[in-house]
Structure 1
Amino acid sequence: MARRKQAVTIKHVAAEAGVSLQTVSRVINNETSVRPEMKVRVQAAIDKLGYVPSIAAQRMSGSRSYIILALNDRDRTIADWRARQGTDWVDQMLLGGMLSCAEHGYRLIIELVDTHNDHVERELAAAIAALQPDGVILTPPHSDNPLITGLLTHRQIPFARIGSRSDGGGIPLTMDDEGAAQQATRHLLGLGHRSIGFIAGPADYQLSSWRVDGWRATMDKAGLTTEGLLAVGDFSYASGELAARALLTHPEKPTAIIVSNDQMALATIEVAHALGLSIPADLSLVCFDNTPLVRFTRPPLTAIDQPVAEITARAVELLISAQRGELPAPVPVVVPASLVVRESTAAPRNAG
Structure 2
Amino acid sequence: MSAAESSDLRPTLADVARAAGVSTATASRVLNGFPRVSPERRKQVESAMLALGYARQRAARAAPPPQTGSIALVVCEEALRLFTDPYFPRIAAGADRELSAVGMQLVLLTVPSTENYQGPVLRYLDGGHVDGALVVGMHGRRPLDLDWVDIPVVFGGRPVRQAESGRLSYVDVDNQGGARLATRHLLDAGRRTVATIAGPQDMTAGVDRLNGYRQAMVGGGRHDLGLVVFGDFGQASGEHATARLLDRRPDVDAIFAASDMMAVGALRALRRAGRDVPGDVAVIGFDDLPISRRTDPPLTTVRQPVEEMGARMTSELLAMIAGAAPRQRTVLDTRLVLRDSA
User: Where on the TM-score scale, by shorter chain, does this alignment land: which range?
Assistant: 0.7 to 0.9
Alignment of 1:1-352 (within 5 A): 62-75=65-78, 77-79=79-81, 81=83, 86-114=84-112, 116-128=113-125, 132-141=129-138, 146-152=143-149, 155=150, 157-165=151-159, 166-167=162-163, 168=165, 169-251=167-249, 253-330=251-328, 332-345=329-342
Structure 1 pair 151–104 and aligned structure 2 pair: CA distance change class (3 A): same
User: Which structure 2 residue ranges, 5 or more long, are not aligned?
Assistant: 1-62
Partners of 1:260 and 1:147 in 2: CA distance = 24
Structure 1 pair 143–249 and aligned structure 2 pair: CA distance change class (3 A): closer
Instruction: Give the drift of 1:143.
Output: 8.4
Partners of 2:71 and 2:200 in 1: CA distance = 28
* Amino acid across the alignment from 1:109: V
Structure 1 pair 74–202 and aligned structure 2 pair: CA distance change class (3 A): closer
User: Which structure 1 residue ranges, 5 or more long, are not aligned?
Assistant: 1-59, 346-352
* Amino acid across the alignment from 2:338: V
Instruction: Give the drift of 1:329.
Output: 4.2
Instruction: Give the drift of 1:137.
Output: 0.6
* Amino acid across the alignment from 1:209: V
* Amino acid across the alignment from 1:67: S
* Amino acid across the alignment from 2:208: W
Say which SS state the counterpart of residue 251 (structure 2) adopts.
coil
Structure 1 pair 316–176 and aligned structure 2 pair: CA distance change class (3 A): same
Identity %: 28
Say which SS state the counterpart of residue 73 (structure 2) adopts.
strand
Instruction: Give the drift of 1:189.
Output: 2.1
Structure 1 pair 74–140 and aligned structure 2 pair: CA distance change class (3 A): closer
Partners of 2:174 and 2:141 in 1: CA distance = 16
1:295-335 CA deviation, whole Å, 9 max, x = no partner? 111101111222221111111111111123222343x2101
Query: What's the TM-score once normalised by structure 1's chain length?
Result: 0.72
Structure 1 pair 261–246 and aligned structure 2 pair: CA distance change class (3 A): same
Query: What's the TM-score once normalised by structure 2's chain length?
Result: 0.74
Say which SS state the counterpart of residue 110 (structure 1) adopts.
strand
Say which SS state the counterpart of residue 300 (structure 1) adopts.
coil
Instruction: Give the drift of 1:179.
Output: 1.0
Partners of 2:136 and 2:338 in 1: CA distance = 27
* Amino acid across the alignment from 1:78: L
Contact 2:111 2:118 (C-alpha < 8 Å) held by counterparts? no
Contact 2:136 2:157 (C-alpha < 8 Å) held by counterparts? yes
1:175-212 CA deviation, whole Å, 9 max, x = no partner? 11111101111221222223210001122222111111
1:33-83 CA deviation, whole Å, 9 max, x = no partner? xxxxxxxxxxxxxxxxxxxxxxxxxxx9644222221111341x41464xx
Instruction: Give the drift of 1:170.
Output: 2.1
Say which SS state the counterpart of residue 228 (structure 1) adopts.
helix
Q: Which deviates more from structure 2 when the two are superposed, residues 90-99 or residues 61-70?
A: 61-70
Partners of 2:226 and 2:194 in 1: CA distance = 10
Residue correspondences, number: 276
* Runs (4+) off by over 6 Å: none
Say which SS state the counterpart of residue 276 (structure 2) adopts.
coil
Partners of 2:139 and 2:281 in 1: CA distance = 35
Partners of 1:71 and 1:292 in 2: CA distance = 23
* Amino acid across the alignment from 1:279: V
Say which SS state the counterpart of residue 233 (structure 2) adopts.
coil
Contact 2:82 2:88 (C-alpha < 8 Å) held by counterparts? no
Contact 1:318 1:327 (C-alpha < 8 Å) held by counterparts? no
Contact 1:247 1:253 (C-alpha < 8 Å) held by counterparts? no
